[in-house]
């Protein structure tokens, strides 16, 4: 079962990208030298670069996801991320309904969730810009309407790489675009492009690889091994023939799960550092809480009282409460992780659910068996107290 789980995780850990539109170098007004299909949102870009004066003529092809939404394309002068992007945002004018294009700077102080995003002139050499709708319904913006954003930018001499950033949202309040959706595709809509060679840099392969490792390590450790260690302690300790073996098995499984989970937690912190501006609040907070509880649980082993100590019962209560809380948080956060990466209906999710369901099935079976044994022993103890067992044994002895 565990090998099957590994296989499904690896199978679905390949990055899922939206079906992108085929790029074209021809528009109604211009013909460009190069084009590129962008990895998300069915977007593409075409451009002509003039090395002599470092001027870049380009057009961005995008689509609306709402009649009152917006589509944006921009350049980040420093890195491939949203924060710091100099953006051109196209949306229907709230008063006239006609398509307009306004400039915005997404500096670090801008939080789309808290304060309105206000239009202001860009501090890059933007020589011209415009936006037009194309397709069957050119007169108005609708869900699925295609838009072209044109721009002419003067680049820094001898610098041919640009950090292209794009996105789209559902609503515009006044002239302020609201926050865009936060699916994995919406949070990875950026690419570094060499406009001279026409090649996109692969600088984000490391992030994708780390995300894959992060998901597999945490799914196995917090999501499976930790619950399995708890099951080992709860049900094997009552089997007298095992002796102290259950304790060693429980300790080894839990310690391995925590060490492996610590690696996954550290990878998660590194991913946060490598993706500034991208925050998964619930997933991060659940992971931090699970790691803190796991650390407390591990440290508690150093202060484990002897069986005869008067504080032993209090330590056991603490150990059980913190342990089960850590297990629940770990499992919940694994499911939250699937939601974050947009794999809630993937083969990896199916594999994890099958593995977890198998473990839960084992728990139910052992729990029922434990209650049957408990009830049988209680009945025998009651009969012994009432003398029924002794009389039965005497009768059996006299007959023999």
Per the listing, tokens 């709230």 go with 94
Is 283 one of the annotated binding-site residues? yes
Phi, psi of 42 (to 5 degrees): 55, 35
Quickly name the fold that domain 17-200 has: Immunoglobulin-like (2.60.40)
What is the arithmetic mean of pLDDT over 341-351?
81
Average pLDDT, the chain: 83
pLDDT tens digits, residue range 295-331? 998 888 888 888 788 888 888 888 889 999 999 999 9
Q: Report the candidate in 365, 301, 364, 335 with the shortest Cα–Cα distance to residue 224.
A: 335
Is 250 one of the annotated binding-site residues? yes
The answer, yes or no, to whether residue 25 has pLDDT greater than 60, is yes
Token pair, residue 10, equals: 């690896």
Is 16 one of the annotated binding-site residues? no
The predicted structure's pLDDT at residue 6: 44
Query: In this structure, which long-range contacts are made by residues 168-171, counting pairs with CB atoms below 8 Å and at least 24 apart in sequence?
Result: 168/41, 168/62, 168/63, 168/64, 168/65, 168/69, 168/70, 168/71, 168/72, 169/65, 169/66, 169/69, 169/70, 169/72, 170/65, 170/66, 170/68, 170/69, 171/66, 171/68, 171/69
The predicted structure's pLDDT at residue 144: 85
pLDDT tens digits, residue range 165-211? 999 999 998 899 988 887 767 777 888 999 988 887 655 556 778 88
In CATH, what number does 205-344 get? Answer: 1.20.120.1770
| pTM for this predicted structure | 0.56
The answer, yes or no, to whether residue 389 has pLDDT greater than 80, is no
Question: What string of H, E and C letters represents the secondary structure of the chain?
Answer: CHHHHHHHHHHHCCCCCCCCCCCCCECCCCECCEEEECCCCCCEEEEEEECCCCEEEEEEEEECCCCCCEEEEEEECCCCCCCCCEEEEEEECCCCCCEEEEEEECCCCCCCCCCCCCCCCCCCCEEEEEEEEECCCCCCCCCCCEEEEEEEEECCCCCCEEEEEEEEECCEECCEECCCCCCCCHHHCEEEEECCCCEECCCCHHHHHHHHHHHHHHHHHHHHHHHHHHHHHHHHCCCHHHCCHHHHHHHHHHHHHHHHHHHHHHHHHHHHHHCCCCCCHHHHHHHHHHHHHHHHHHHHHHHCCCCCCCCHHHHHHHHHHHHHHHHHHHHHHHHHHHHHCCCCCCHHHHHHHHHHHHHHHHHHHHHHHHHHHHHHHHHHHHHHHCCHHHHHHHHHHHHC
Q: Where in the chain is the domain with CATH 2.60.40?
A: 17-200
What is the arithmetic mean of pLDDT over 119-126?
90
Q: Where in the chain is the domain with CATH 1.20.120.1770?
A: 205-344
The predicted structure's pLDDT at residue 390: 54
The answer, yes or no, to whether residue 8 has pLDDT greater than 50, is no
């Amino acid at each position: 079962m565990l090998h099957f789980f590994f296989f499904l995780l690896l199978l679905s850990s390949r990055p899922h990208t939206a079906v992108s539109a085929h790029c074209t170098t021809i528009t109604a007004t211009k013909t460009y030298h190069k084009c590129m299909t962008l990895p998300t949102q069915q977007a593409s870009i075409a451009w002509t670069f003039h090395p002599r004066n470092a001027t870049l003529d380009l057009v961005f092809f995008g689509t609306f996801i709402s009649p009152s939404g917006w589509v944006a394309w921009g350049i980040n002068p420093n890195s491939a991320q949203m924060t710091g992007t100099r953006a051109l945002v196209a949306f229907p004018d709230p008063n006239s309904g006609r398509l307009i294009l306004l400039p915005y700077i997404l500096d670090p102080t801008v939080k789309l969730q808290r304060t309105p995003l206000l239009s202001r002139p860009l501090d890059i050499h933007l020589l011209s810009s415009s936006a037009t709708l194309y397709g069957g319904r050119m007169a108005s913006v609708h869900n699925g309407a295609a838009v072209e954003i044109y721009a002419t930018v003067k680049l820094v001499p001898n610098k041919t790489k640009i950090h292209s950033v794009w996105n789209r949202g559902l609503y515009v309040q006044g002239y302020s675009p609201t926050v865009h959706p936060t699916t994995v595709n919406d949070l990875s809509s950026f690419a570094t492009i060499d406009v001279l060679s026409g090649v996109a840099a692969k600088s984000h392969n490391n992030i994708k690889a780390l995300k894959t490792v992060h998901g597999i390590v945490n799914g196995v450790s917090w999501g499976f091994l930790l619950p399995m260690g708890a099951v080992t302690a709860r049900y094997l300790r009552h089997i007298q023939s095992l002796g102290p073996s259950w304790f060693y098995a429980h300790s080894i499984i839990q310690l391995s799960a925590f060490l492996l989970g610590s690696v996954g937690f550290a990878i998660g912190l590194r991913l946060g550092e490598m993706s500034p501006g991208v925050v998964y609040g619930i997933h991060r907070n659940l992971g931090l809480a699970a790691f803190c509880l796991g650390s407390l649980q591990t440290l508690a082993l150093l202060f484990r009282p002897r069986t005869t100590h008067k504080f032993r019962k209090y330590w056991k209560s603490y150990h059980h409460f913190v342990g089960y809380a850590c297990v629940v948080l770990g499992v919940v956060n694994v499911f939250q992780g699937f939601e974050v990466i947009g794999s809630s209906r993937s083969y990896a999710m199916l594999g994890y659910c099958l593995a977890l369901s198998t473990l839960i099935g084992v728990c139910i079976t052992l729990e029922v068996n434990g209650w049957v044994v408990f009830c049988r022993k209680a009945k025998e103890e009651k009969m012994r107290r009432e003398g029924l067992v002794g009389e039965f044994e005497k009768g059996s002895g006299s007959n023999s």
